[in-house]
Amino acid sequence: MRDHERDAIEARALELGLIALIVQSEGFSPLAFGDIARPVVIHSMRKSILSALYGEAIGRGAIDPRRTLAELAIDDDPKLTEAEKSATVFDLLAARSGVYLPAPGHEPTPGRPARGSHAPGTFWNYNNWDFNVLGNIYERLTMKNVFIAFDHILAKPLGMQDWDLFRDSFLDYKIDPIGGNLRYPNHRMALSARDLLKFGQLYLERGKWNGAEILNSQWIDQSTRAISRTNQTGATSAHGLLWWIAADDNGVVPAGTFTAFGFGGNYLTIIPVCETVVVSLVDTRSPSFKAVSGEAYNELLRIIVGALARTLPERAPGVE
């Protein structure tokens, strides 16, 4: 990556209002912009971290993804139907539970299916009910709190520098228009760009860190493979198991790219064909916060991948 290309990327990051941007690619010195040591609330990026925890638990037999909500005694208010209770843990991981409970006090979200309109496993819908219930199931079956599990299984082995278990983790019980309710909390976390980079590098290295296997490579392959198409474009045009996937015809990044995405414009993107990890963060609690749209992030990725491809074009086939 040439100096003028680095300058252009940093200028774009400044224009977007990012608090931190890291681009780490094999064969290049890392590009690091902003306050990379500052933990910020990562919002729904937490779901990709939960995917990693599930992969570790499934790998050692603590969780069977074929188990149903009925078998696990998962219910809610209003009560789940027998059809809804037939949804499996895998269905929830794939955001295909078919459970669409009403959100009291909120208007129906455009595009959110009506209750009972789709059988479990048949339809993708980005549904916080699925994701929050997964947190509850994980804790009951592993007998370990999600945050403590993250600390023990990922943060400490990866040598995360800025994460503090007690400061940077908190439960949020709330009703939201995309499925969250008061029964199952949102496991919110704050992480810095340089700590998220380590999580992304773990996935780029297919689950290995300093020669030790932390995550099974088969789980990484399975969870970052496109299962459903979304209504988005580019880096988030498909969805796997709690990861956003770039569909083959996305026009932004090479096929095989996958992303953790959080509200407001928080992104962690792994581009295996370029041997590259990109971390892009905003601070939604800052008075100067401005959201980064999906289109703006796609354009930033185009610039980054284009710079890499021009230097080593064989690393990014099919990307102009």
Give the pLDDT band (50/70/90) at residue 311: low
Please report where in the chains the tokens 């503090």 appear, as a residue.
Answer: 164
Look at residue 312 and tell me whether its pLDDT is greater than 80.
no
The string of pLDDT tens digits covering residues 47-76 is 999 999 999 999 999 999 999 999 999 999
What pLDDT does residue 186 have?
96
Look at residue 164 and tell me whether its pLDDT is greater than 90.
yes
DSSP secondary structure string, 57-116? HHHTTS--TT-BTTTTT---SSPPPHHHHT-BHHHHHTT--------TTSPPPTTPPPTT
Read off the pLDDT of each residue in 209-228 and give the average, rounded to a whole number. 97
Cβ contacts of 155 within 8 Å, gap of 6 or more: 163, 165, 195
pTM of the model: 0.95
